[in-house]
Amino acid sequence: MFIEYTFTMDDGKVLHYFVEFERTREHILDKKQYPDWTQLDFHQCPNCPLKTSEYSHCPAAIDAHEIVMGFNEILSCKEVDIHVRTPEREYFKRTDAQTGLRALIGFVMASSACPILSTLRGMAYYHLPFASLDETVFRVTSSYLLHQYYIHRKGGGKIDLEFDGLKQRFKEMQTLNFHFLERIRAACNADSNLNVLATLFTISSMLSLSLDRHLKEIEHLFD
């Protein structure tokens, strides 16, 4: 499974990214081959379970660094043509660079070897570019309930129908996004990269603090 993103600027510049869903790397990498800000101990998330004795680099940073540097000269408000291709279908949208970058970075981080983000791998596999907040709420809660179903089938304990575990996940992701943003600040000055991480932080915060309200807003679809 793969995702292919192509960003075409009005001045003719094209940024193309082909990302495989399954990506394997050694845990210890040559530090000379990657920027310093990708090393695990550089603004390492306080809730990160990885140990520097076992991992040299942050898995999400390694996967995202080429995308981050590619957008180093692109302003977030700049209108671009975005073409997304998956094995099943294609998407196209003309929108600001930040919207496309958020979708791409979201996929890359959710499908990375980061243990905190690993709970999003199911959603990443069925990636939906340019998803609205309502679509995100629908997808993330549906994915969580499916996970609860598998827990039930395996006899893994109490089923969480109050989404307490999901809210806790988003709190963990808020912490991750905040510290990952510090990595990006050290990497470049382009506002698109900073804005996209700030937006991801905002979405995590909103879903953590007001998930019940967002669920109430779509409840009429199931009456």
pLDDT tens digits, residue range 91-148?
999 998 888 888 898 899 899 999 999 999 999 999 999 988 889 899 999 999 999 9
Most confident of 153-162, 192-201, 207-216: 153-162
Mean pLDDT of 49-53: 96
Q: What does the pLDDT look like over 56-97, one tens digit per residue?
A: 999 999 998 888 777 766 666 789 999 999 999 999 999 988
| The pair of three-digit structure tokens given for residue 68, joined into one six-digit string | 């981050």
Q: Is the pLDDT of residue 39 over 80?
A: yes
Q: Pick from 139, 122, 130: which is nearest to 214 by CA?
A: 139
Q: Which helix (H) or strand (E) holds 47?
A: none
Q: Is the pLDDT of residue 47 over 80?
A: yes
Contact 5, 100 (CB under 8 A): yes
Rounded to a whole number of angstroms, the distance between the first and last alpha carbons of the chain is 36
pTM: 0.86
